[in-house]
Amino acid sequence: MAKRVLADFDLFAHTCPYFYNGAPVNNGYGCRYPECGEAEEDDAGQPCGCCHRYTCPICCPFGEEDLDDPELDLDGRGRQEFFDRDGGFADGGELVTVASGDEAGEEERAALLAYNRYLHRYDKEWLEKHPRQEPQSPAR
């Protein structure tokens, strides 16, 4: 099993147990993770966690250097798919990497399971083998 997997950030965020849509800041991308990487004050002056791929404590932005990591599962994509016609790296800023297997902490495992449950939402057999799990840390 790969130690890190590639994920689409928008799908990953929307399935993450800590994400909430409709936050009063950050165009609605809210985060309830206790050690959220970034927060802004809402209209009442209260801190509101912001969900960004570059400050997320659960995933990391995908970059060209990740293509050389033998422990990253590229999700069936070939290396050439990440470059434009001119040879420049072109992921569009949409991808992240997430720790998996023994390398993953409880939060990463919960978020990755939720992401994979969404990807396999029509596969009853897969869903039965991978029951939903709630994170142990209470969401605010």
Per-residue pLDDT of the chain (140 residues; tens, 9 = 90+): 579 999 999 999 999 999 999 889 999 899 999 888 899 998 899 999 999 999 999 999 999 999 989 899 888 888 888 998 898 898 778 899 999 988 899 999 999 999 989 998 998 998 898 887 665 554 44
Same domain, 42 and 71: no
Same domain, 83 and 66: yes
What is the per-residue pLDDT for 5?
Answer: 92
Same domain, 51 and 73: no
At position 70, the amino acid (one-letter code) is P
What is the per-residue pLDDT for 15?
Answer: 94
Same domain, 44 and 72: no
What is the per-residue pLDDT for 77?
Answer: 86
In a domain, 137, yes or no: no
What is the per-residue pLDDT for 1?
Answer: 58
In a domain, 139, yes or no: no
What is the per-residue pLDDT for 101?
Answer: 83
Distance CA 65, CA 121 (A): 32
Same domain, 30 and 80: no
In a domain, 138, yes or no: no
CA 39 from centre of chain: 18
SS3 content of the chain, % helix, strand, coil (to 5): 30, 20, 50
Distance CA 69, CA 86 (A): 23
Domain limits for position 39: 19-57
Same domain, 3 and 49: no
In a domain, 136, yes or no: no
What is the per-residue pLDDT for 136?
Answer: 54
Distance CA 83, CA 67 (A): 11
In a domain, 140, yes or no: no
Name all contacts of 50-54 with Cβ < 8 Å and 24+ positions apart: 50/23, 50/25, 50/26, 51/13, 51/16, 51/19, 51/23, 51/26, 52/26, 53/9, 53/13, 53/93, 53/96
Same domain, 101 and 35: no
Same domain, 39 and 81: no
In a domain, 94, yes or no: yes
Same domain, 86 and 113: yes
State the total domains in the chain. Answer: 2
Same domain, 5 and 50: no
Same domain, 46 and 64: no
Same domain, 5 and 72: yes
